[in-house]
A and B are shown apart, each in its own frame.
Chain A
Amino acid sequence: MSHRGSRVLRLDALARVEGEGALHLRVHDGTVAEARLRIYEPPRFFEAFLVGRGHTEPPDITARICGICPVAYQMSACRAIENACAVTVDGPLAQLRRLLYCGEWIESHTLHIHLLHAPDFLGHPSAVELAREDRAAVERGLRIKQAGNAILEQLGGRPIHPVNVRVGGFYRTPAPQELRPLAERLRQVREDALETVRWVAGFDFPDAVCGHDLLALRDPGRYAIDSGTPTAMAAPDDSDAEPGPALREFPVTDFEQHVHEEQVPHSTALTAILDGRRHLTGALARFAISGRWLHPTAAGAAREAGLGDPAAGTVCRNPFRSIVVRAVEVVHALEEALRIIDAYEPPPRAAVDVRPRKAVGTGATEAPRGLLYHRYALAEDGTLSAARIIPPTAQNQSAIEEDVRRAVQSRLDRPGPAAGDEELATLCERAIRNHDPCISCSAHFLDLTVEHT
């Protein structure tokens, strides 16, 4: 069937994406002419809001950008300010930060897996129907999520917008015995997390390949979460049957020389590209670049789930399988959190002194959705004269648009009955959700328009 004439279909509120945005899809003569994802960008507002503030304020202020990943914003902000002030936070304080970050990974990933992404694979319009049909699976997710949340409450002071984090460390650090009940809670959901990997591994995954360069932090010896060097893995070259995992890395200080943001007309958002090429950050990129350093339990779960052997540098390029990778990362984060608690010895001080100086500092960490970069320029007294935030979703925008285009095109090319707009809309939503876009660091509604010309 060919689409004659012109028709615009408007679908309200694309659910199950964190936040707000819009997708405009233009189909011309059976070909996707355009897939434009529009995301709103609070980071821009916060950049302006930060100028003139003190150098100790970015962790608290930027934590408000996103209710789902406040820790990521705090950690990238702290690293950037500490970098400017030539301070390194290490030892138990760094371990506690990583523990807090694990809590956020567990919580954010579990939310996405169980309440947002899984319904796509099981033919449910939302988690509500999933809960009616497979209550145990949703309950399992809520248990894991609560355990992650418990870390945030314990270390962050409260579950959303944690208040205990500061430049240089924390306001208060826990005594080892305070972490014991937390460890107990985490142990209780270990089996739930493994069961979740098995559950999602059994889903049906459409064939798809994302041919983007992958970008993630790399911290040899461990799965990068709160530190590491930006490292890119090129997309496989069609002419090369057996592409090697050629990695190239660059220091965080050079980030903006490699990842450029450009304004595109349809969005207030800037679209980021890596050295002139489309790139993807997030779970798939981390798994490709750091997979060999997963905890053995997580690596075992990955193998059993059919992702290949992380120790051998396996790469997963099917965006639909990102749900499996996230489930594996939850297992890793749980094990990592338990390892940190077991080895924890309280630091002598809750924070190291971070004296301001006139300098520019950069910092990057792995937010649940991907690499999150901050840069701050400080005056002599610490007053911020510039702030720059490049969130993962802005970096992933082009890759998501390309995934949407490919998914729709491959459906349009399939023989048999033509796809209705509703089917196309569902397909688009799935292609977007594969990358868990934190459009809520952008906020609330995603409207979808499909235009046939």
Chain B
Amino acid sequence: MTGRTVVIGVGNVFRRDDGAGPAVVEALRDRVPGDTVLAVSDGEPGRMLDLWHGADTVVVVEAVRGRPARPGRLHTLSAAEAAAGGSASTHALGLGECFALAEALDRLPRELVVHAVEASDVGLGPGLSEPVRAALPELIDRAAVTVRKARERRLRERDAAGDAEGGRTATG
């Protein structure tokens, strides 16, 4: 996968609100520049590392469980914050562990942003709960804004430095 910006919707569409990440990715198809890589993942670290290999900016969208829970509440986290968050993620190894692994292997992208929504229902079945559905437009906006800002920043840097090729992302 190559691309300056990669958006990964993490989740399982058959686990209700866990499908929020994939739903956002679907909604972004018409809203982000064509060179943006859009992907859906189950969050398994090996695949996540593959997906963002060579990327400059990675946007992860996913559902989390909050304690105490406030379903539909949005969170935006940096990689460091997400890594410190441990197992709040609904996914097997935990996104936090995935980021920590990437860091240990020098495979963190230059910029990594997590947009998350607190889930209400991760039971079996398709379809989002009402609080998450209501929060979805804002979640989509946040992801789209991150993609746009990353692009603008790259353009600025290209103007300033002449060449923005050969990013700092380690090769594996």
Residues on A close to B: CB < 8 A? 12-13, 15-19, 42, 45-46, 64-65, 67-68, 107, 110-111, 115-116, 126-129, 131-132, 135, 138-139, 141-143, 145-146, 149, 159-160, 440, 443-445
Is chain A's binding surface mostly helix, strand, loop or mixed? Answer: helix
Instruction: Contacts A15-B94, A139-B172, A146-B50 given; indicate if A45 touches B44 (C-beta within 8 A).
Output: no
Per-residue interface assignment for chain B, residues 1 to 36, with 1 indicating a CB less than 8 Å from any chain A CB and 0 otherwise: 000000000001111000000000000000000000
- Known A-B contacts A42-B124, A45-B124; the reply to A68 vs B44 at CB < 8 A is yes
Chain B contributes a number of interface residues (CB within 8 A of A) equal to 28
Q: When the two chains form the complex, which single residue of A45, A126, A135 contacts B97, counting CB atoms closer than 8 Å?
A: A126
**Cβ of A135 and Cβ of B104 under 8 Å apart?**
yes
Closest 10 CB pairs of A and B: A67-B42, A131-B104, A45-B124, A128-B100, A13-B87, A132-B104, A145-B46, A128-B101, A18-B92, A444-B90
Is residue B167 within 8 Å, beta carbon to beta carbon, of the partner chain?
A: no
14 new A-B pairs (CB below 8 Å) besides A17-B92, A115-B46, A142-B46? Answer: A19-B92, A45-B125, A64-B12, A64-B14, A67-B12, A116-B93, A127-B45, A127-B101, A128-B100, A128-B101, A129-B104, A146-B50, A149-B50, A440-B42
Q: Which residues of B contact A139 (CB under 8 A)?
A: 105, 172
CA of A64 to CA of B14 in the docked complex: distance in angstroms? Answer: 8
Q: Which of B15, B46, B124 contacts A111 (CB 8 A)?
A: B46
Chain B proximity of A346: nearest CB distance (Å): 28
B15: nearest residue on chain A (CB-CB)? Answer: A443
Given contacts A128-B97, A131-B101, contact A142 B49 (CB under 8 A): yes
Q: Does B122 contact A (CB under 8 A)?
A: yes
- The answer to whether B169 has its CB under 8 Å from any CB of chain A is no
Smallest CB gap from A143: residue in B: B172
What residue in chain A is nearest B103 (Cβ atoms)?
A128
B135 to chain A, nearest CB (A): 21
A428 to chain B, nearest CB (A): 17
Do A160 and B92 touch (CB < 8 A)?
no
Encode B50-66 as 1/0 by CB contact (under 8 A) with A: 10000000000000000
Closest residue to A16 on the B side, CB-wise?
A: B93
For A444, the chain B residues whose CB sits under 8 A away are 90-92, 122
CB distance from B4 to the nearest CB of A (A): 21
Shortest beta-carbon distance, A182 to chain B, in Å? 16
Q: Quote the shortest CB–CB distance from A10 to chain B (angstroms).
A: 14
Choice from B45, B90, B91 contacting A115 with Cβ under 8 Å: B45
18 contacting pairs across A/B (C-beta < 8 A) = A15-B87, A15-B94, A16-B93, A45-B124, A64-B13, A111-B46, A115-B45, A127-B97, A138-B105, A142-B46, A142-B49, A142-B105, A149-B46, A149-B47, A149-B50, A444-B90, A444-B122, A445-B87
Q: What A residues does B44 contact at CB under 8 A?
A: 67-68, 111
A310 shortest CB reach to chain B, Å: 28
Task: Report whether B14 and A115 are in contact in the complex, using a CB–CB cutoff of 8 Å.
Answer: no
Taking the nearest CB of chain A, how far is it from the CB of B119, in angstroms?
11
Return the chain A residue nearest B65 by Cβ. Answer: A445
Note all chain A residues with C-beta closer than 8 A to B40: 160
Complex contacts, A149 vs chain B, CB 8 Å: 46-47, 50
**In the complex, which residues of chain B have a beta carbon less than 8 angstroms from the beta carbon of A107?**
46
| Chain A residue with the shortest CB-CB distance to B47 | A159
CA distance A145 to B93 in the complex (A): 16
Q: Which residues, 124 to 162 on B, are CB-close (under 8 Å) to A?
A: 124-125
Residues of chain B within 8 A (CB-CB) of A160 are 40-42, 47
User: Are the CB atoms of A128 and B104 closer together than 8 Å?
Assistant: yes
Q: How far is the CA of A333 from the CA of B47 in the complex (A)?
A: 20
Closest to A61 in B: B14
In the complex formed, the residue of B with least CB distance to A70 is: B42
Chain B positions within 8 Å of A111 at CB level:
44, 46
Which of B14, B105, B125 contacts A135, CB < 8 Å?
B105
State in angstroms the CA–CA spacing of A144 and B114 once bound together.
28
Q: Which residue of B lies closest to A42 (CB)?
A: B124
Contact in complex: B92, A440 (CB < 8 Å): yes
Q: What chain A residues lie within 8 Å of B49 (beta carbons)?
A: 142
Chain B residue nearest to A443 (CB atoms) is B15
Closest to B14 in A: A64
Residues from chain A with a CB closer than 8 A to the CB of B93 are: 15-16, 115-116, 126-127
Chain B residues whose C-beta falls within 8 Å of the C-beta of A142 in the assembled complex: 46, 49, 105, 172
Q: How far is the CA of A116 from the CA of B15 in the complex (A)?
A: 23
CB B48 to nearest CB in A, in angstroms, measures 11
Q: Tell me the minimal C-beta distance from B147 to chain A in angstroms.
A: 22
The A-contacting residues of B in range 112-127, CB under 8 angstroms, are: 122, 124-125
Give min CB distance, B123 to chain A, whole Å.
9
Separation of A65 and B15 alpha carbons in the complex (Å)? 10
Of chain B, the residue at the smallest CB distance from A446 is B92
How far, in whole Å, are A46 and B15 apart by their CA atoms in the complex? Answer: 12
With A and B bound together, what is the CA distance between A149 and B41 in angstroms?
A: 13
Known: A111-B44, A149-B50. A131 touches B105 (CB 8 A): yes
Chain B residue nearest to A131 (CB atoms) is: B104
Nearest-Cβ distance from residue B19 to partner chain A, whole angstroms: 11
Q: Are A443 and B50 in contact (CB under 8 A)?
A: no
Chain B residues with Cβ under 8 A from A16's Cβ?
Answer: 93
- For B105, the chain A residues whose CB sits under 8 A away are 131, 135, 138-139, 142
